[in-house]
Structure 1
């Protein structure tokens, strides 16, 4: 039986996660008291025959969060109990940065469970501290700060439905235009404005780095291939170090002047390279790809 404990920051996507797992055949329960988890898993485990369980389910998932605040400290005992009974379980921790969480709470107008009589930001930071031990204990950590619901669904399907997991590191590759500002959340920033600029070619000006003609133009000089090779080398060197450090998300930003041609072509190539690596989650995003076209049209 596949058993998943879904936890993490309030507003990070736990409800979406449980609903998706339920849609794909998991038996799901939310906010079960911590002291009942062991009995719950044991009962479900005994009802599973082969790979199928109650109502033909393929596994089970349970959501726990800060609402179980007092009893969360007992969760380590639950883990020990499950380990002793040789129950196959995984802990999925959903995270998001404070800025993203505040935005989501303001959009939904919900109150944070730890900020009823205090500022929202204070409640979020308090929760982050209280859940730190669970994040460190997790088998999977997904940072949903830059995710839409469809992005989260795609990653959950990849891990729990298609069984293509990654080792606690999700790499966001982001192309951007310097004229619109450097991304605030970038961990690594690479400037590719030294490459041939398709903007000055009339037939390429309104195309993007996703078009084959633009890619060929960007790579028409050997410097692009040399740069990409060296970039791949440094990323290969750095990724294991970030994983060892415990980093769950890495944002690699590739910038050119308008974020339409050169940065898009290089970011796409880098994404293809990293996607070939084992146990890594990868998302490619082109922040400004159409902004310059709109300005010129």
Structure 2
């Protein structure tokens, strides 16, 4: 990440931000439990002094550091962008994690704790959410890792965070292959979305219905269908120039989503197969089944 003389600091630096109510605090707790050194509610102006202080004291040698930054005003947004630029100027390579959720999910969460949105002022809660979403639009689009927390409970979110950033082994590019059900909505954090509904649905086979795409009997059925193998091959071919470009651009995380009707059979089988065939020494993979068990 940063070189000083002949000594290389092997630490990792995550900057966690995102929408209010989208789970930044939960992300921080999961990272802390996974062995990260977490600093919560860090002012953006303190990003560089924080990294330099830990490195100067020797704490930064090999540490996995995460800073949770609340960007809820124009001034803080400017300070945040300046802080990231200064980190990079000093030789650090921070990974920006953006936590997001649908407007409906955010409203429901604020109502459940009976708290107003920090930017709603005298208006409606939704007004505050819309205002914050507009303010953070550019930051969201340039984040290295986007995490959609909609519909996830604390345990599911914890598992997802651990899968995406909890591994000790780091590779230049990490692809999360996600299965989902279209009836539950498109995943907000997907960079690429594919539709597996062109394949026959095992749900209508009484013998296959109780199983999932993780079971061999369903996987064999799905992959044996006309067009299934060609679909997998075409996705892999499409990824080749894209992953080369991601490497050139220094992108660390990509989410590829495959959907079917309920997220139980076809998309799960396809996600499992793609995960196995994408993995290489240059690309790390993790499979996430967003809606499995939800029905």
Give the TM-score category using the shorter length.
0.7 to 0.9
- The structure-2 alpha-carbon separation of the partners of 1:212 and 1:161, relative to structure 1 and needing over 3 Å to count, comes to closer
My pick for the range that moved more, 229-238 or 96-105, is 229-238
Determine if contact 1:140/1:167 at 8 Å carries over to the other structure. no
- The structure-2 alpha-carbon separation of the partners of 1:212 and 1:26, relative to structure 1 and needing over 3 Å to count, comes to closer
Determine if contact 2:54/2:60 at 8 Å carries over to the other structure. no
Residue 60, structure 1, aligned to residue 65, structure 2: yes
1:253 to 245, 254, 259: 259
1:89 to 86, 94, 113: 94
- Residue 6 (structure 1) shift: 0.8
**Match for residue 210 of structure 2?**
207
Q: Which has the larger radius of gyration?
A: 1
Q: Summarize deviations over 1:217-247 as a string: whole Å, max 9, x none.
A: x46xxx9433321332344456679998999
- The structure-2 alpha-carbon separation of the partners of 1:86 and 1:280, relative to structure 1 and needing over 3 Å to count, comes to same
Give me the whole-angstrom Cα distance separating, in 2, the residues matched to 1:156 and 1:166.
18
| Structure 1 stretches lacking a partner, 5+ long | 53-57, 177-181, 292-297
Aligned length: 266
Determine if contact 1:143/1:249 at 8 Å carries over to the other structure. no
- Residue 139 (structure 1) shift: 2.2
Secondary structure of 2:52's partner?
Answer: helix
| Structure 2 stretches lacking a partner, 5+ long | 1-10, 188-192
- The structure-2 alpha-carbon separation of the partners of 1:79 and 1:279, relative to structure 1 and needing over 3 Å to count, comes to same
Residue 7, structure 1, aligned to residue 11, structure 2: no
- Residue 15 (structure 1) shift: 0.1
- Residue 8 (structure 1) shift: 0.8
Give me the whole-angstrom Cα distance separating, in 1, the residues matched to 2:14 and 2:181.
34
- The structure-2 alpha-carbon separation of the partners of 1:284 and 1:24, relative to structure 1 and needing over 3 Å to count, comes to closer
Using structure 2 for the length normalisation, give the TM-score: 0.72
Residue 128, structure 1, aligned to residue 133, structure 2: yes
- The structure-2 alpha-carbon separation of the partners of 1:134 and 1:207, relative to structure 1 and needing over 3 Å to count, comes to closer
- The structure-2 alpha-carbon separation of the partners of 1:115 and 1:192, relative to structure 1 and needing over 3 Å to count, comes to same
Superposition pairs of residues 256-295 of structure 1, within 5 angstroms? 264-276=264-276, 277=278, 278-279=283-284, 281-286=286-291
- The structure-2 alpha-carbon separation of the partners of 1:121 and 1:249, relative to structure 1 and needing over 3 Å to count, comes to farther
